[in-house]
């Protein structure tokens, strides 16, 4: 089964729903660049267009104007985990059920999808994709003789894990959030239209006003009767994904009305308090996800912030390597240090996280080549040592440098920095409480504390085998394996 980290959009009663969805998808492109899709309903039929690549590659004016006709739409951007990069898994998914056509788009990961699939196949279901989301259709289909809402409630009651879903059924737009509320989903309004989106930055681009979050364990059905709310399962407080706030969401989005930029900046300030770098002369960011944390570090330390590293935004998914070997070509095409800001100086490099360690190692090498006198790496989150099973695409245990090397000193040696410090768990907790208003959250990637059980002991068909922690092996992370680059 394939699981994705993704972004979703929904429009109800928008005169130009496909165009609005398209705008919304642009704003959440960072949540997935592998495939994109929009499904539109005219109240009767659903039309679907999806494909591999970014939003700009998948849609053209003709498709949006002449093919995707209707006032109700959902959209999806997808970032697949390893091995799942196939068109069949692009979303939204579409099916004909006894209650009519339905389309669905999903952000998250259904942790019991493997056993549900087996059960459903034994009862005769034929799966068309390897996306975990497809189990929702089969669960709805087999709950025969029931209304759409009963089928949906039944399906949502059986799936576990992380899911923010948007669905289309006739002239209804549906939003669902799992009882833990791992992944975000917010509701907004634009004149007579309602919109759903993974992040509020999409509401901004669509010209919609933020109303509220879809609550953990809530189904909202948006129709001529307005927004009607239903509950699925007990709402469990405090499992929102803290990594959304540290890295994944856009800093111009709001989390429960609070600025994610401010949250990241506060993390940077806390980091400067916890882990000063007394001899440093300049703070630089690892572009672009850590810009806010680097600003915060500079604010609190009094060390000036510099744009020391520039990122090239025009790199496609694949590029042709020059025949003549260029040292660190893969890093150089994406990042370039600004020599005048770096040469001869002692630098604090702030990043939000280290996953495989590949990016940091390369950035550090480039900073040395550009003449840095000393490099102090500061990370605005604790050691990332456990894979995410709730919708963030992370590698297996054996590729996580935090798991392989285990402690700051060993990671520092591998990265060849003069010093390395991560944010403490207490520091993170304090900032989340004070700046994000979050008293508890899911931090399984830092602690291994998985609040929802992960698949019933059966290996899933094609998901990465992340469940077995492997011992530390000699080969450095990234060596010989596929290179992963941050989006």
* CB of 445 vs ligand AMP, minimal distance in Å: 9
Would you say 68 or 367 has its CB closer to ligand AMP? 367
In this structure, are residues 59 and 23 in contact, taking their beta carbons and an 8 Å threshold?
no
Q: What are the tokens at 296?
A: 């915060």
Is 331 a binding residue for ligand AMP by CB under 6 A? The answer is: no
393 lines the binding site for ligand AMP (CB under 6 A): yes
For residue 400, the minimal CB distance to ligand AMP (Å) is 8
Distance of closest approach, residue 481 Cβ to ligand AMP, in angstroms: 11
For 146-224, strand residue ranges (E) read 161-169, 172-177, 186-190, 193-197, 209-213, 218-223
Can you read off the two tokens belonging to residue 149? 């809402």
SS3 325: coil
CB 359 → ligand AMP: shortest distance, Å?
Answer: 3
Single residue of 4, 132, 351, 443 touching ligand AMP by CB under 6 A: 351
Cβ 442 to ligand AMP shortest distance, Å: 14
Q: Which residues contact 109 (CB under 8 A, 6 or more apart)?
A: 3, 4, 132, 161, 162, 163, 389, 390, 391
**Which is closer to ligand AMP, CB of 89 or CB of 353?**
353
- The verdict on 464 binding ligand AMP (CB under 6 A) reads no
Q: How many residues bind ligand AMP (CB under 6 A)?
A: 19
Query: Which position among 38, 195, 355, 431 is part of the footprint of ligand AMP (CB under 6 A)?
Result: 355
Phi first, then psi, for residue 25 (nearest 5°) are -65, -35
Only one of the segments 105-113, 118-126, 455-463, 479-487 lies at the binding site for ligand AMP (rule: CB under 6 A); that segment is: 479-487
Identified binder of ligand AMP from the candidate list 358, 380, 417, 435, rule CB under 6 A: 358
The verdict on 164 binding ligand AMP (CB under 6 A) reads no
User: Where does this chain touch ligand AMP (CB under 6 A) — which range of 64-72, 214-222, 358-366, 458-466?
Assistant: 358-366
Site string for ligand AMP, 289-328 (x = CB under 6 A): x---------------------------------------
Contact between 162 and ligand AMP by CB under 6 A: the answer reads: no
CB of 63 to ligand AMP, least distance (A): 29
Stretch that binds ligand AMP, among 62-70, 131-139, 187-195, 347-355 (CB under 6 A): 347-355
Which residues are marked as active site? 6
Give, in order, the Cα–Cα distances in Å from 5 to each of 29, 71, 261. 11, 27, 21
Alpha helices in 8-99 (DSSP H): 17-27, 55-58, 61-62
Q: Point out which span in 145-153, 250-258, 319-327, 387-395 binds ligand AMP (CB under 6 A).
A: 387-395
The closest alpha carbon to 131, from 391, 408, 381, belongs to 391
The values of phi and psi at residue 409, to 5°, are -65, -40
Which residue among 46, 168, 354, 383 contacts ligand AMP (CB under 6 A)? 354
**Rg for the chain, CA atoms, rounded:** 23
Among 40, 152, 187, 286, binds ligand AMP (CB under 6 A): 286
Query: Kind and range of the H or E element at 118?
Result: helix 113-122
Give the one residue of 353, 381, 417, 435 binding ligand AMP; rule: CB under 6 A: 353
Whichever of 72 and 247 has its CB closer to ligand AMP, that residue is 247
| Dist CA 143 CA 152 (whole Å) | 9
Distance between terminal CA atoms of the chain?
23
CB closer to ligand AMP, 16 vs 352: 352
Question: Is 249 an interacting residue with respect to ligand AMP (CB under 6 A)?
Answer: no
**E strand spans, 70-177:** 72-80, 93-97, 100-110, 161-169, 172-177
Closest CB to ligand AMP among residues 218, 352? 352
360 binds ligand AMP (CB under 6 A): yes
Q: CB within 8 A of 79, min separation 6: which ones?
A: 4, 5, 6, 31, 32, 33, 34, 393, 487
Sequence-ordered list of residues with C-beta below 8 angstroms from that of 187, at least 6 positions apart, any chain: 175, 194, 195, 196, 210, 211, 212, 213, 214, 220, 227
Give the interface segment with ligand AMP, choosing from 52-60, 114-122, 270-278, 390-398 (CB under 6 A).
Answer: 390-398
86-110 burial string, b = 16+ CB within 10 Å, else e?
beebbbbbbbebebebbbbbbbbbb
Scanning 213-221, 349-357, 413-421, 454-462 for contacts with ligand AMP by CB under 6 A, the matching segment is: 349-357
Of residues 228 and 307, the one with the C-beta less far from ligand AMP: 307
| DSSP H or E stretch at residue 422 | strand 419-422
Closest distance between ligand AMP and the C-beta of residue 91, in Å? 19
- The distance of Cα 53 from the centroid of its chain, to the nearest Å, equals 17
Nearest approach in angstroms of CB 457 to ligand AMP is 26
Of the residues 4, 213, 352, 443, which one makes contact with ligand AMP according to CB under 6 A: 352
Which parts of this chain interact with ligand AMP (CB under 6 A)? 247, 286, 289, 351-360, 392-394, 484, 486-487
């Amino acid at each position: 089964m394939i699981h994705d980290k993704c972004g979703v959009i929904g429009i109800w009663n928008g005169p130009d729903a496909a165009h609005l969805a398209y705008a919304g998808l642009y704003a959440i492109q960072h949540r997935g660049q592998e495939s994109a899709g929009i499904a539109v309903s005219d109240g009767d039929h659903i039309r679907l267009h999806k494909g591999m690549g970014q939003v700009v590659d998948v849609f053209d004016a003709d498709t949006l104007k002449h093919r995707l006709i209707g006032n109700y739409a959902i959209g999806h951007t997808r970032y697949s985990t390893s091995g799942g990069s196939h068109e069949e898994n692009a979303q939204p998914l579409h099916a004909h059920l006894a209650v009519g056509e339905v389309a669905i788009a999903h952000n998250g990961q259904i942790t019991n999808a493997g056993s549900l699939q087996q059960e459903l196949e034994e009862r005769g279901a034929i799966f068309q994709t390897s996306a975990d989301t497809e189990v929702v259709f089969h669960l709805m289909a087999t709950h025969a003789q029931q209304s759409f809402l009963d089928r949906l409630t039944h399906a949502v009651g059986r799936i576990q894990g992380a899911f923010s879903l948007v669905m289309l059924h006739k002239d209804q737009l549906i939003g669902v959030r799992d009882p833990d509320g791992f992944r975000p989903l917010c509701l907004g309004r634009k004149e007579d239209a309602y919109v759903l989106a993974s992040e509020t930055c999409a509401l901004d681009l669509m010209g919609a006003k933020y109303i509220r979050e879809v609550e953990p364990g809530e189904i909202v059905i948006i129709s001529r009767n307005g927004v009607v709310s239903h509950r699925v399962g007990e709402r469990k407080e405090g499992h929102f994904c803290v990594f959304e706030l540290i890295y994944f969401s856009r800093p111009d989005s709001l989390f429960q009305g609070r600025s994610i930029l401010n949250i990241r900046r506060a993390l940077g300030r806390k980091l400067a308090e916890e882990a000063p770098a007394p001899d440093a002369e300049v703070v630089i960011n690892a572009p672009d996800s850590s810009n806010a944390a680097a600003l915060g570090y500079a604010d609190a330390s009094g060390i000036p912030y510099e744009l020391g590293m520039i990122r090239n935004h025009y790199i496609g998914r694949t590029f042709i390597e020059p025949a003549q070997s260029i040292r660190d070509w893969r890093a150089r095409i994406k990042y370039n240090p600004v020599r005048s800001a770096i040469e001869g100086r002692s630098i604090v490099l702030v990043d939000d996280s280290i996953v495989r360690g590949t990016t940091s190692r390369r950035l550090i090498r480039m900073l040395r080549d550009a003449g840095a006198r000393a490099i102090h790496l500061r990370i605005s989150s604790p050691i990332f040592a456990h894979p995410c099973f709730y919708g963030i695409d992370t590698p297996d245990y054996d590729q996580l440098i935090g798991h392989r090397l285990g402690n700051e000193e060993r990671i520092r040696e591998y990265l060849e920095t003069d010093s390395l410090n991560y944010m403490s768990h207490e520091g993170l907790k304090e900032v989340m409480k004070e700046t994000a208003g979050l008293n508890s959250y899911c931090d399984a990637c830092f602690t291994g504390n998985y609040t929802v059980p992960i698949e019933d002991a059966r290996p899933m068909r094609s998901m990465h085998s992340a469940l077995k922690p492997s011992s530390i092996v000699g080969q450095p992370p990234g060596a010989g394996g596929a290179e992963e680059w941050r989006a």
